[in-house]
Structure 1
């Protein structure tokens, strides 16, 4: 799924994102509000991984949805 569709359906996608990245809080998801770069940054912060790894994880996830 392209990111524009994810961003447009953010409220519906939040549950799927929490399934994948359980360390993200509802407040995190509200702040992210569908912005991919902010999602990658929060994943990086919460999981202590490099930005490139977070970007790849988001690519993999979005490709499945």
Structure 2
């Protein structure tokens, strides 16, 4: 028997390809990858409350775009 999920959190495909710097919600799927490895923001979300914390863009913090 499988357990139903209200939300599914994913990553690996950065939201910067959609020109977004916040997590992208679609149905019950939340894409958390906001592109820190590519100069975007590092994002953290508290599961259960969906409170979101984000860094400044990595490219501004470290002076280079990333990978």
Instruction: Report the TM range for the smaller structure's normalisation.
Output: under 0.3
| Larger RCO (alpha carbons 8 Å, 6+ apart) | 1
- Give the helix-richer structure, 1 or 2: 1
Q: Which has the larger radius of gyration?
A: 2
**TM-score using structure 2 length:** 0.25
Greater strand share, 1 or 2? 2
With structure 1 as the length reference, what TM-score do the two structures score? Answer: 0.26
